[in-house]
């Protein structure tokens, strides 16, 4: 049986695949795709053997810097990023959480210096009992990955 | 950036902690020296803390140093909207080291990153207060003659009380056994219990206080602080739950000492004060010697260079 393409193929650009369906719009938000002027195709609640229901985003003629894709690793660690040129996948970029995350996460502590003065946020990424925890470099408050607030 | 700052007790290794305690013992034997002669220390108290400020300022004056600073943010430029970054840069033009207390958590760590002179954290919100922890350790060492293998009972507000959290971190080098006694609303947060388990530190928990600490070497009482509560109803409900009375001490160990970071409100009955096991006022005095040791340590590289230049 011929495989049916639910989302149109991309000539050049970036495909973000295997996003859990409930995280799709968060990825849209943290990559600022709501104000991106390139052609974008978004599919959600597509059937996936791996994650049940998945989302996919295809952005034409656009590449992303690594600190941008790092943001995705925080909320959708198993998403796949493919760079497409001339309908071919030329790069599969692995998503890896860095040891330290700067600026993109907001500290959950309302009396942290970073929430009250012009100080960039900085978090240490810790693996405790198979759970990813972000610890604020300044106020030392710890937050679980699921509760991370993206700026 | 100066890397000789003291922001958190975890900045110091076991060896550095023990060296501070040795140094504090020397200052106790001979507190008046002129080792800081010609040095200016700034005490920047963005929120008032008379006890801590007077202790640091006395430590500096007894070492022959001079003090500049402010004791309340209302009288400083931060009330005009100056950022901490700018205040630190301005003050570091005048001072050789900065002792600071700030209501925002992480303020001291940030200051240590932008300051060209060493920062000593005298409390950043509910986060860290390392000189308190070091004076607690000094008091424990002085009264028990060792820090190793002690039974330590932590009582009161174990949820918001930063002194008990820092004490757990610092004592983890010395194989302690803890007993946490707190009302349910104020019990020890999970992250510190996880820390204990990971470091093979035994602990038990209880939500009642009577005479259930007869195997303790140290009884560390903390105040239920009104300013840490968002819900004042909850504060009123728990503030009088725990009061230590003299009669609870009848069967305690002879070497037991009662510590309290002070100020005390009503969690230790005044009838305990005359008991020889009460140690909280001497504990406060120990703070002077420990702060002399801390100021001397953070300024040590500068003082050493100064001596070389003269010779």
Of A114, A129, A139, the CB nearest to B127: A139
Q: Where in chain B is the domain with CATH 3.40.50.1370?
A: 9-128+287-301, 131-284
**A41 phi, psi to nearest 5 deg:** -115, 125
User: Hey, is B53 helix, strand or coil?
Assistant: helix
Domain boundaries, chain A: 13-93, 100-150
**Got the DSSP string for A91-131?**
EEE-----SEEESSEE-S-TTBGGGTSS---EEEEEEETTE
Chain A residues bordering chain B (beta-carbon distance below 8 Å): 109, 111-114, 116-119, 128-129, 136-142
Distance of CA B220 to CAs A36, A56, B136, B272, B286, Å? 58, 56, 9, 14, 16
Q: Round to whole Å and give the CA distance between B243 and B229.
A: 19
Note the pLDDT tens digit of each residue in A116-131: 999 999 999 998 777 8
Q: Round to whole Å and give the CA distance between B267 and B263.
A: 10
Question: Does the B131-284 domain belong in CATH 3.40.50.1370?
Answer: yes
> Chains A and B: how many Cβ contacts under 8 Å?
52
Q: Which B residues 155-194 touch A at CB under 8 Å?
A: 191, 194
Question: Does the B9-128+287-301 domain belong in CATH 3.40.50.11290?
Answer: no
List, in order, residues 6 or more apart from A134 with CB less than 8 Å away: A101, A105, A123, A124, A125, A126, A142, A143, A144, A145, A148
Distance of CA B218 to CAs A99, A113, B152, B179, Å? 39, 35, 5, 10
The predicted pLDDT at position B1 comes to 46
pTM of the entire predicted model? 0.86
CATH number of A13-93: 3.30.70.140
B154 to chain A, minimum CA–CA distance in Å? 22
The predicted pLDDT at position B229 comes to 73
* Nearest residue in chain B measured CA to CA from A120: B110
Confidence check: pLDDT of A138 > 90:
yes
CB contact under 8 A, A113 and B128: no
Contact residues, chain A, for B194 at CB < 8 Å:
128-129
Question: Does the A100-150 domain belong in CATH 2.30.30.20?
Answer: yes
Note the pLDDT tens digit of each residue in A44-97: 999 888 778 999 999 999 988 887 888 888 888 889 999 999 999 999 988 888
CB-based contact A112:A134 (threshold 8 Å) = no
CB-based contact A43:A55 (threshold 8 Å) = yes
Here the tokens at position B264 are 């005390």
Mean pLDDT, range B72-97, rounded to an integer: 89
Q: Which of A30-34, B12-16, B233-237 has the lowest mean pLDDT?
A: B233-237
B184 CB burial (10 A radius; 0-12, 13-18, 19+): exposed
Mean pLDDT, range B163-174, rounded to an integer: 95
């Amino acid at each position: 049986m011929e495989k049916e393409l639910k989302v149109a193929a991309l000539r050049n650009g970036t495909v973000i695949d295997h996003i859990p369906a409930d995280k799709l719009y968060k990825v849209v938000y943290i990559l600022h795709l709501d104000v991106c002027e390139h052609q974008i195709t978004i599919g959600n609640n597509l059937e996936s053997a791996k994650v049940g229901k998945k989302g996919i985003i295809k952005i034409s003629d656009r590449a992303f810097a690594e600190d941008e894709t790092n943001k995705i690793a925080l909320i959708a660690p198993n998403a796949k990023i493919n760079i497409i040129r001339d309908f071919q996948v030329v790069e599969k970029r692995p998503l890896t959480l860095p040891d330290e995350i700067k600026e993109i996460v907001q500290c959950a502590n309302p009396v942290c210096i970073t929430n009250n003065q012009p100080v960039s946020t900085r978090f240490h990424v810790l693996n405790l009992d198979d759970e990813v925890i972000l610890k604020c470099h300044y106020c030392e408050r710890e937050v679980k990955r699921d509760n991370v607030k993206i700026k | 950036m100066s890397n000789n700052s003291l922001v958190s007790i975890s900045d110091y290794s076991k060896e550095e902690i023990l060296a501070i305690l040795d140094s504090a013992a020397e200052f106790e034997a001979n507190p008046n020296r002129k080792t800081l002669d010609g040095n200016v220390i700034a005490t920047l108290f963005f929120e008032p803390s008379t006890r801590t400020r007077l202790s640091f300022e006395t430590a500096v004056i007894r070492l022959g140093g001079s003090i500049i600073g402010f004791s309340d943010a209302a009288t400083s430029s931060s009330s005009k909207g100056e950022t901490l970054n700018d205040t630190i840069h301005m003050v570091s033009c005048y001072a050789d080291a900065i002792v600071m207390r700030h209501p925002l958590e992480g303020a001291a760590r940030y200051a240590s990153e932008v300051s060209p002179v060493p920062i000593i954290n005298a409390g950043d919100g509910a986060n860290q207060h390392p000189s308190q922890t070091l004076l607690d350790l000094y008091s424990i060492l002085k009264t028990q003659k060792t820090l190793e293998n002690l039974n330590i009972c932590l009582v009161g507000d174990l949820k918001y009380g930063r002194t008990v959290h820092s004490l757990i971190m610092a004592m983890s080098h010395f194989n302690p056994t803890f007993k946490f006694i707190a009302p349910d609303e104020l019990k020890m947060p999970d992250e510190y219990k996880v820390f204990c388990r990971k470091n093979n530190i035994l602990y038990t928990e209880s939500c009642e206080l009577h005479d259930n600490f007869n195997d303790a070497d140290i009884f560390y009482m903390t105040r239920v602080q009104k300013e840490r509560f968002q819900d004042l109803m909850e504060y009123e409900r728990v503030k009088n739950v725990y009061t230590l009375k003299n009669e609870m001490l009848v069967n305690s160990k002879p070497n037991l000492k009662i510590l309290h970071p002070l100020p005390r409100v009503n969690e230790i009955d005044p009838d305990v004060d005359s008991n020889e096991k009460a140690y909280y006022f001497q504990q406060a005095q120990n703070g002077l010697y420990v702060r002399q040791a801390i100021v001397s340590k953070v300024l040590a590289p500068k003082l050493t260079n100064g001596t070389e230049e003269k010779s």
